[in-house]
Structure 1
Amino acid sequence: MNSSAADRPSHQDGSLAARIASRAKTTREDVEDVFTTRGLPLAYPPARPRPVRIHRLRVDGNRVGVQPEGPIDQTFTFNDGLTALVASNLKGKTSVLELITWCLRGAPRAKLQGDVRRWLTRLELDATIAGQPMGFRLSLTPEALLSGVVFTASSVDQLTDTDGIAGGSGVSTLIEADNQDDFAVKVAELMLDRLDLQPIVNKLTTKERVRTQTHGWPSYYSAIYLQLGRDRPLLGNQNMAGLAGRLLQVFLDLPATAVLARVKATYDVLQAEADKQSENTKRAVAERADERARVEEALAEARRSLTQLQKAAPGPDLTELADKSARLARQVADAQDEQDEINRGYREARRIRQLDEKALNDIRESEVARLLFHGLNPSACPRCETPISGDRRQAERDVHRCAVCTTEVTGAEGEDEAVEAEARDRVEGSKAAEKAAKQALGTAEANLDRLTAELETVQANLRTATAATASRDRIAAEIEVARWEGALQVLPNLPDTPTNNGDVTLTVLKSASKVLEDESKGAAAQLFADLNAEIVDLAHQFGMTALESVEINRAAQLKVIKGGGAEKPFVDQDPGAQLRLRVAVIVALLRVGARYGISTHPGLILIDSPKAEEIQDADATVIFRELNRLATAEGLQVLITTADFHLAAETLPAECVIAAKPGDPLW
């Protein structure tokens, strides 16, 4: 029945990134960027083999409150095939499964009774996980886990010889934790890594938002510790979020199952966020439109009121008068500054003209002045700044002695006329400059007077208009118009609602979902056909002789067709049939996996008290006998509990049974 891995449906054909890019009509670089940014893998190689086998459980503690009280030190050794734990009800057989679960799962379940937990001081479990020997060591108090250690050794036998701390040859520590939460997290990470499993990511929708929900190792473990009951799914223990289907697809090693789940969940979350943003934008646009309509209506009403006031009491526009008054006030101030500047220039021109006339008179009256005209005429000594006295200036005119240095002044004859002519030219120039300055001053003064008069007129009109009652009403109306115009300016129309059609991330993720879905479906077709056939064959061996066929889908929904073509879903089957079908599915997974060379279920099953689920004695006999046979034939390890001593003794070899005396505790 076995065949090579080459017969298995192909996982990949070419570059996944290239196929997604082709479907998304974008570049491979865009695809790689989106997957990298979102932490999504672009590869899904076949999973490594993931068998799990348990070998030994040691329970150490002290029983109190229940007879027989006293120290506990019990070791259980398990077969590679089926091991039945047999004891009266409430005598510890379920606890053995729960203690194994605590070690392998990383955290205890609520089903582990509180009094049992308080008895324990130490747990030891030896197992082989995906071919690697591992020892789990838990030190406990009644209140908490003191330490949790997981180590690996060279062989299974060596696990028993060490507590994982001594660090002997070939022993190395994988996990060290000093509290329950840390131990649970580390065990979950370790088991996912060793069994080559990826967290299952699903979309979770609430009233507030859409987000992702991650299912880790505890969800996978629920496919090992079978949860019986009509309300339980075919695989695992949760009906929500399509988890049973995800587990089935992972255990069939369907291409890209984990990647597909993460891509879909990421797309759903991003699309939901985009939809929510679009809805918020639409709502904002509608609210803005309503607000603008209200403001525009108020503005129109204010303008109508202003128009009526202007018609009833016509007059100047007060706003325009106020603006004109302010403008004229600025012009008057500028004209005043200009007039002051021109007046200073005029006074300076007049002073220069007076000096030039005086110099001409001096030339005409004094020979010394003519001689010194081209020189300096200082009022003080240029070196010490001592003022020149009137006596020196008189001596300069009378006896031709320089007023500065008292030296006699001489000059050549014939220069008088040239000096006087030059002085006259200076006088004419300064007179012309003075006249021009005076004219400019007159123009500036006239402009200032005109602007001042206009300002006074406008201000008088503004005071008159403001004083009138009708004008006050118009002012209020104009202010109201201005207020609503301002309100309208701060409420611009919002842009139309953006679309997500051009969003590269969403386009890539949507295309990736389709590509991965197609590949998964293509690989699943033959696998599911074979799986259906194996389930029917196994169910027949379990005594379901009326079963004609089954149809299992990728959501782990099982349609059961019995004699006469009657169809019923798995949930409508009786408890005995449900148990047999659950086990048949797991064994069928192992068979199909062996045929195609793929890694499937870990091959470890824990079943607690199947007869408690209203399974008849005849059904239970068949189940126990066939489980033992299949466990040996299919490489399956099964731990099953029962309170029926006769059932175990009649259906199972002695080496497969760990039994207490009736009424005594199992440990």
Structure 2
Amino acid sequence: MTSTYAQKIAQRTGRSLDDVRAVLARHHIVDAPTPPVSRQLRLKRLQFSGEKHVHHETVPFKFDWSPQQEGVNVIASDDNLVGKSSILQTMLWAVRGEPKSLTATVQGWIKNVVAEFQAGDRHVRVAFDVEDGVPHGVIELINKDGAVIHSLGFFTAELFKSQMNSVMLDALALDPIATSREVASLEKVVMYADGWAAYTGAFLFDSESSAIIGEHTGTDLAQRLLQVFLGIPWATTLFQARAAKRVTESLVQSRKRRLGQLGDRSVQQLQDRLEEIARQIADGSAQQTALAQLDAAQRRYDELAEKVSQLKATSTVLDAEVLAGNEELNNKKRSLLEIEEEMAASRFFGRLSPTCCPRCTRAFDKSRIDRERTAGDCSVCLTHVEQTEEINCGALKEGLSKEVSKLEKLLRAVATNAGEVKNEFEQARKDLEGAARDVSRLAAGGTAQEEQKLRLEAAKLEGMLEAVSKMVQTDTGEESDLAVLEAATDVAKDQVESEAEAVLERSGELICEMVQRLGMRDVERVVLKRNAGVEIHKGGSLSTFTRLSAGERLRVRIATVIALLQAAQQFGVGRHPGFLIIDSPAKEEMADPNVEELLESLADLPRTVNLQLFAAFRGTQRALKHFQEDHCLLARANQTLW
């Protein structure tokens, strides 16, 4: 560990240099200011055999090919479905340790595979048989004399992948790319590393690959692959620090959540409460508390019972008063009505002047009408009407109306009071029922139950103390380490950004030159970003990788990887091993003239770039037009490749 990196972290955190170094070592963070020189990967031989099952016929087959180890190797045919992609995918199976896009049909036909590679200074031989879809075989490291110096056997697909991961990463001096991911089932973030299979995603260019480097967009794998293959100093350190920080943050948050579930109480608070419970049990205060609670509940019940009784009596009296008041009010209203009717009748009949008998309608003598006026004899019945003092009905009505109004007002007040008393009575009755339940519960529980509650609480507290103690014992200082890891990430990020600027700028220039050679002549400038984003300036406008046509994306991807190889040769940086596969470029919606431009440019590549490139496409004459025959594997009309 260089002192500069650790010292910068120590300065930011205020921790000692030894402390910082210990944290970095504990989390497996190593400084990588200068990546190792890239090592080449070359396929020396590919052999596979088995049996085809076509139209109920079984036809044995065997394929054996030793391609050129430098330059472009072409696999071409005049017809489709003759085995071009199957050769490339079987090659990848042997290189990766697992198949990528090999069809289930072909995978079921293949019974034996042998592949030999030159990985750096190591000769690697992979040989395996396939039974029921499961590979089992051996990976051998061979010296210059052909003798096996090391052998790794495998009998499952997972073991095959694991063995190839360790062999190829070591042979090509590539480190696993550290990262982290959240595991929902565990509710935490865990550390993991993208290994050899992820690196091989940058070897193949086909219709299923969508990222500028690697296989898929939407993850940060593309940018991590780009930074590693570009050979950007400190990139590996940044990935390690960032992953360790995320995992540690997850552990710290998990610890806080678990402490929160314990009520956010300290160990001392838990212990104090345990001592208090023990004291209450020992001196009987729990029993005294229970008895006091029962006595208080009984007193409240008695008080409420008396209150309910009083309110019931008051309510009954008020209801009777309201009833009597309503009856008296109705009587006075009837009397008032009678007076009003008599006054109306008097006014009506007093204005009448009869001139005939109301029964027979015989007209009266004028003398009878005159006698009524002078002598006071009724003109109808001749009865003498005595003159009496006239009753003052108006005064009587006015007095009775005042009595009715006063009685109505009094009755409303009594009714309102009765309603309030009734509501108070209902609430008191509910309170009484609640008090009765409290008394019943406390009486049934007794003092023994109260003590039992205390003992249960004590048991719970003891469990919480044990959990806290375990967390304390297993605390490896994540919270203390987090500050160092945050600073380690920031320092590494600063270093990467500082170092990457020149590398990315030069890589963008090389990509621009290469896409122009691959037929995109209107491209004026290419800007490659550290996050694997790319800006394409062409035709006076700006475009991004995802907005390009499928054929343009293929050429930009090829140009990007080739630029990595050129950078490695020109500037001593870059980590790509120079092993590339292009499967059927015509599938990428490329017109024939574009395909011709691409093939012509690929044929010219070996003059400036050290690589082993495999390209599969249709057209044997097209292949021979651009490539030497000893670099071509051809299947002419009506032929198959295996």
Structure-1-length-normalised TM-score: 0.64
In the alignment, is the contact (CA less than 8 A) between 1:200 and 1:246 conserved in 2? yes
Taking the aligned partners of 1:302 and 1:543, their CA distance within structure 2 comes to: 96
Which residue identity is paired with 1:591? Q
Give the equivalent residue in structure 2 for 1:536. Answer: 512
Taking the aligned partners of 1:24 and 1:548, their CA distance within structure 2 comes to: 46
In the alignment, is the contact (CA less than 8 A) between 1:532 and 1:552 conserved in 2? yes
Evaluate the alpha carbon distance shift between residue 525 and residue 475 of structure 1 in structure 2; reply closer, same or farther with a 3 A threshold.
same
Which residue identity is paired with 2:243? A
SS at match of 2:507: helix
**Corresponding position: 1:181 with 2:158:** yes
Evaluate the alpha carbon distance shift between residue 67 and residue 614 of structure 1 in structure 2; reply closer, same or farther with a 3 A threshold.
farther
**What are the Cα deviations for residues 482-532 of structure 1, in whole angstroms up to 9, with x where unaligned?**
65994898598x999x99999321111111111111111111010011011
Give the equivalent residue in structure 2 for 1:262. Answer: 240
In the alignment, is the contact (CA less than 8 A) between 2:179 and 2:193 conserved in 1? yes
SS at match of 1:503: helix
Evaluate the alpha carbon distance shift between residue 542 and residue 480 of structure 1 in structure 2; reply closer, same or farther with a 3 A threshold.
same
**Corresponding position: 1:25 with 2:4:** no
**Corresponding position: 1:225 with 2:191:** no
In the alignment, is the contact (CA less than 8 A) between 2:212 and 2:545 conserved in 1? yes
Taking the aligned partners of 2:300 and 2:259, their CA distance within structure 1 comes to: 44
Shift of residue 13 of structure 1? 6.7
Structure-2-length-normalised TM-score: 0.66
Of 27, 33, 46, the match for 1:38: 27
Evaluate the alpha carbon distance shift between residue 645 and residue 68 of structure 1 in structure 2; reply closer, same or farther with a 3 A threshold.
farther
Evaluate the alpha carbon distance shift between residue 473 and residue 184 of structure 1 in structure 2; reply closer, same or farther with a 3 A threshold.
closer
Evaluate the alpha carbon distance shift between residue 42 and residue 532 of structure 1 in structure 2; reply closer, same or farther with a 3 A threshold.
closer
Which residue identity is paired with 1:188? N
Shift of residue 139 of structure 1? 3.2
SS at match of 1:41: coil
Which residue identity is paired with 2:98? A
**Corresponding position: 1:579 with 2:569:** no
Evaluate the alpha carbon distance shift between residue 641 and residue 265 of structure 1 in structure 2; reply closer, same or farther with a 3 A threshold.
same
In the alignment, is the contact (CA less than 8 A) between 1:309 and 1:474 conserved in 2? no
Of 592, 605, 609, the match for 1:634: 609
Taking the aligned partners of 1:516 and 1:257, their CA distance within structure 2 comes to: 8
In the alignment, is the contact (CA less than 8 A) between 2:48 and 2:113 conserved in 1? yes
SS at match of 1:259: helix
Evaluate the alpha carbon distance shift between residue 112 and residue 14 of structure 1 in structure 2; reply closer, same or farther with a 3 A threshold.
same
Which residue identity is paired with 1:83? N
Taking the aligned partners of 1:625 and 1:104, their CA distance within structure 2 comes to: 28
Which residue identity is paired with 2:47? R
Taking the aligned partners of 1:488 and 1:60, their CA distance within structure 2 comes to: 72
Give the equivalent residue in structure 2 for 1:195. Answer: 172
Give the equivalent residue in structure 2 for 1:210. Answer: 189
Taking the aligned partners of 1:52 and 1:108, their CA distance within structure 2 comes to: 18
Q: How does 1:43-54 map to 2 (within 5 A)?
A: 45-54=34-43
Taking the aligned partners of 1:312 and 1:204, their CA distance within structure 2 comes to: 62
Q: How does 1:144-543 map to 2 (within 5 A)?
A: 144-154=134-144, 158=146, 167=147, 171-207=148-184, 208-229=187-208, 232-282=210-260, 284-285=262-263, 306-307=295-296, 479=447, 486=454, 490=458, 503-543=479-519
Gaps of 5+ in 2: 278-285, 303-438
Taking the aligned partners of 1:43 and 1:28, their CA distance within structure 2 comes to: 18
Evaluate the alpha carbon distance shift between residue 68 and residue 620 of structure 1 in structure 2; reply closer, same or farther with a 3 A threshold.
farther
Taking the aligned partners of 1:502 and 1:125, their CA distance within structure 2 comes to: 46
Shift of residue 556 of structure 1? 0.7
Identity %: 23
Taking the aligned partners of 2:525 and 2:6, their CA distance within structure 1 comes to: 40
Evaluate the alpha carbon distance shift between residue 646 and residue 575 of structure 1 in structure 2; reply closer, same or farther with a 3 A threshold.
farther
Give the equivalent residue in structure 2 for 1:601. Answer: 576
Give the equivalent residue in structure 1 for 2:333. Answer: none
Q: How many residues align?
A: 477
Evaluate the alpha carbon distance shift between residue 308 and residue 50 of structure 1 in structure 2; reply closer, same or farther with a 3 A threshold.
same
Shift of residue 44 of structure 1? 5.6
Deviates most, 113-122 or 546-555: 113-122
Please give the root-mean-square deviation of Cα atoms over the aligned residues, in Å: 3.9
Evaluate the alpha carbon distance shift between residue 621 and residue 487 of structure 1 in structure 2; reply closer, same or farther with a 3 A threshold.
same
Evaluate the alpha carbon distance shift between residue 302 and residue 621 of structure 1 in structure 2; reply closer, same or farther with a 3 A threshold.
farther
Evaluate the alpha carbon distance shift between residue 68 and residue 259 of structure 1 in structure 2; reply closer, same or farther with a 3 A threshold.
farther
In the alignment, is the contact (CA less than 8 A) between 1:302 and 1:480 conserved in 2? no
Give the equivalent residue in structure 2 for 1:548. Answer: 524
In the alignment, is the contact (CA less than 8 A) between 1:204 and 1:241 conserved in 2? no
Give the equivalent residue in structure 2 for 1:424. Answer: none
Give the equivalent residue in structure 1 for 2:93. Answer: 102
In the alignment, is the contact (CA less than 8 A) between 2:564 and 2:574 conserved in 1? no
Gaps of 5+ in 1: 1-11, 159-166, 314-470
